[in-house]
Chains A and B, each alone.
Chain A
């Protein structure tokens, strides 16, 4: 199975600040069809995860442009700018290029 490694485990940020979360995969996430199926999810306290970003850099419907994804191959980054209170929670990266789908262990975003 593809192992997804996220860093850091936790992150403290001031409101209005900017943060980056890293996600590294144990194998390339480039599919045979040329697409890279790397997604980012946010799980707010007491809620189910919600999709933020798919195929590395595409924002899902209704997601603010304060969220941006980048990367290629095995290294990926989620950036959050102008952090708001509603952004707090645990962020997960996930891959769908190789079965089974796997997720990182999560990065907890907290207020400083």
Chain B
């Protein structure tokens, strides 16, 4: 079955770079697209960006200058890198499969990232 799992450091210092990995199983990244979505504590969902099945990317304009999404199809992994982290970036970070028809139909469990010195 389709599964996604996020991994990465739980604590990042301000101004540093966040690196997260989403490992997928039950689907191929060459025919599926994956998004990153984050959720600050007690708040709503913010779409961050997507890597399409063809390898192209799109980003939320609010964070585009700081964000990069890439993948390694042979390892079934999608990567998120975001620089210049601030306390406002403290959030649960989710990866999810996105399909034009159904939206975000499979989600990972999420990884909590705290930005603090």
Contacts and interface: CB of A to CB of B under 8 A. Distances in A.
Interface of A: 35, 37, 39, 41, 47-51, 54-55, 58, 60, 92, 94, 96, 99-106
Contacts of B76: none
Contact of B102 (A39, A48, A99): A39
Nearest to B49: A100
Interface residues of B, number: 22
A55 B101 contact: yes
A94 B102 CA distance: 11
Contact of A92 (B44, B58, B102, B109): B44
B47 A101 contact: yes
Contact of A96 (B44, B103, B107, B109): B103
Given A92-B45, A101-B98, 14 more contacts: A35-B101, A49-B45, A49-B94, A49-B104, A51-B105, A54-B103, A60-B105, A96-B98, A101-B104, A103-B45, A103-B47, A104-B44, A105-B44, A106-B44
Contact of B104 (A47, A51, A99): A51
A99 to B, nearest CB: 6
Interface in B29-88: 35, 44-47, 58, 60-61
Contact of B60 (A47, A50, A100): A100
Contacts of A47: 109
Contacts of B106: 51
Given A48-B110, A99-B58, A100-B60, A39 B104 contact: yes
